[in-house]
Structure 1
Amino acid sequence: MTKLYEVSSWQEFLSLVESEHLRGWAFRGQRDAEWCLESSLSRRLKQFVPAEDWADREDRAIRVFKRKAHYFLNDTTSLKDDFRCLALMQHHGAPTRLLDFTKSPYVASYFALQSCTTPAAVYAVNTPALWHEATPPGLPELTRDAIDPRTSDSLRKFYLSNDYPVVWPGEPWSMDRRIVAQAGTFMLPGKVDVSVEDLLNNYEYDQPLLAKIVLSPEIRQEAMDALYRMNISSATLFPDLDGLARSISYELEVSWVGSSGSHR
């Protein structure tokens, strides 16, 4: 079962994520604590596509992207690798089965709190256990290495088929600037009709693989100020002009007065 924590101060959050218990885990911030841990593809398909057509529509979406994306790329190498192609689609806003995570709890807290007005959440996944010990229910042979989407036809077999109750943590061999800037990683589920939370809670392991940290919106101001001082902002997490533009949202909230009385 998911381990639930509720924190009411920024210091309480720091003490929790810096504890030995969550060391080496991966994190995801969501601005609404009520949201399910599911991919953008899952949400889109559930809203607009009959369940019997999901596999065909996902396959078609990837195929269409591959056929047209080369017009906008100087290097088309990523289009030849299905997993890198999924990461590229995710990067540019296409619905995919990938869930963005980060190895930094601070980055995750930024995404959770930057726009929240109600309780937000940071999810934490025990990636060391998924790497070495935990296996899907009744399928001990499906270790992380066995279902690695970066090898041969594994992505199509274990994921796009939508037949296997697995979750794979990791990144493409070649990472883009955004993944590097965010200390990013992904959770790749084998089923899009089941939440990642349910998939992980059914894994065979003697400890919870998933924790949910609910953040009170009252800690937002203190947290955002602290994260700003840590140089965590949209400008640094999205190292391009779009990121700089996004960062202006927070710049609107604060006024930094220097010793001369001037504002930055």
Structure 2
Amino acid sequence: MKTTVLTSWSQFMNLTSELDGWAFRGQQKADWLLESSLSRYLRAYIEDRQAWRSREERAIRIFRRKAHNFLVHTDLLENDLRCLALMQHHGAPTRLLDFTKSPFVAAFFALERAVDDAAVFALNTPALWNNRAYPKENAKLTRDVIDPRIQGNLDRFFFCNTNSVIWFGEPTEMDDRIVAQSGTFVVPGIIDRSVQEILDGYAADEELLHKIVIPSSLRVEAMKWLYRMNLTNASLFPGLDGLARSIALELEIVWSGMSVG
């Protein structure tokens, strides 16, 4: 994995413009591994990795048994990927990693609450989409073969936790947050390895992952640029909750010589 440490915000804009079609994920600490909230949670609280698979299965089963009380359309629970996306949407730890097709949305999530150096990871999704990159252990496990939107494939290729693969994409029906954030998901086949480790097992003649470190010294300038682009919690999380979360940034952004708000 190549790493670039930025020296200016303009460097970020120039660099990401070269990564046409890639997907991006922002993380508020540059030294965090590229892994799901489920992996991070299990690593922190469940020492026995052999139990991780059963714990994940139990969490999904409990959600499915109880979530119908709060849903108008309970069919969301029937499709595996839509169910995971719903869990992710409402804050449950899942194996899904939120990515976006916009490097600027990723930068916002990286920097919004960052107090140290942050990072944006760029994933070469065109190479994965066109099968220019494939798992060395089993080249037949292409993106189309393992597609978790096909019912049964999450059980067959992912929940078994034995296939060192990743898939990216969105559920067939996208909710308002995915639309607002130009979102997509990365789904790892093994939850006790980071995405970096899984991609190390891929055959490819091109770069698959690029880590862009944003030093804390660039945060103020970057957040002002993102604010000008209307990238706030209010725009990225439609609804009153997003608006309320966006007020924190209003405490920071004050234009010199102007009275705003």
TM-score scaled by length of structure 1: 0.95
Equivalent in the alignment of 1:83: 81
Letter in 1 for 2:237: F
Once residues 153 and 36 of structure 1 are traced to their aligned partners in structure 2, the CA distance between those partners, rounded to angstroms, is 29
Shift of 1:118: 1.3
Per-residue Cα deviation, 1:199-236 (whole angstroms, up to 9, x for no partner): 01221111221000011111111111111111110110
- Aligned: 1:204 with 2:203: yes
Once residues 101 and 262 of structure 1 are traced to their aligned partners in structure 2, the CA distance between those partners, rounded to angstroms, is 36
Aligned equivalent of 1:106, options 83, 99, 104: 104
Q: Which runs of 4+ in 1 moved over 4 A?
A: none
Aligned equivalent of 1:62, options 60, 63, 66: 60
Please give the secondary structure, in 2, of the residue aligned with 1:228.
helix
- Aligned: 1:233 with 2:232: yes
Identity of aligned residues (%): 56
- Aligned: 1:124 with 2:122: yes
Pairing of 1:1-264 with structure 2 (within 5 A): 2-19=1-18, 22-49=19-46, 50-132=48-130, 133-256=132-255, 262-264=259-261
Once residues 254 and 124 of structure 2 are traced to their aligned partners in structure 1, the CA distance between those partners, rounded to angstroms, is 39
Note if contact 1:9-1:219 (Cα within 8 Å) is conserved in structure 2. Answer: yes
Q: Please, which runs of 5 or more residues in structure 2 have no aligned partner?
A: none
Shift of 1:256: 4.4
Q: Please, which runs of 5 or more residues in structure 1 have no aligned partner?
A: none
Shift of 1:6: 1.1
Shift of 1:79: 0.4
Please give the secondary structure, in 2, of the residue aligned with 1:146.
helix
Letter in 2 for 1:43: R
Once residues 222 and 246 of structure 1 are traced to their aligned partners in structure 2, the CA distance between those partners, rounded to angstroms, is 20
Shift of 1:40: 0.7
Letter in 1 for 2:133: A
Letter in 1 for 2:45: F
Note if contact 1:29-1:122 (Cα within 8 Å) is conserved in structure 2. Answer: yes
Note if contact 2:168-2:185 (Cα within 8 Å) is conserved in structure 1. Answer: yes
Once residues 135 and 53 of structure 2 are traced to their aligned partners in structure 1, the CA distance between those partners, rounded to angstroms, is 21
CA RMSD of aligned residues (A): 1.2
Shift of 1:263: 3.4
Shift of 1:257: 6.8
Shift of 1:119: 1.0
Indicate how the Cα distance of structure 1 residues 52 and 138 shifts in structure 2: closer, same or farther if over 3 A, else same.
Answer: closer
Letter in 1 for 2:191: V
Letter in 2 for 1:35: W
Per-residue Cα deviation, 1:99-124 (whole angstroms, up to 9, x for no partner): 00000000000011111121110000
Letter in 2 for 1:228: Y
Aligned length in residues: 259
Shift of 1:152: 2.8
TM-score scaled by length of structure 2: 0.96
Once residues 263 and 195 of structure 1 are traced to their aligned partners in structure 2, the CA distance between those partners, rounded to angstroms, is 43
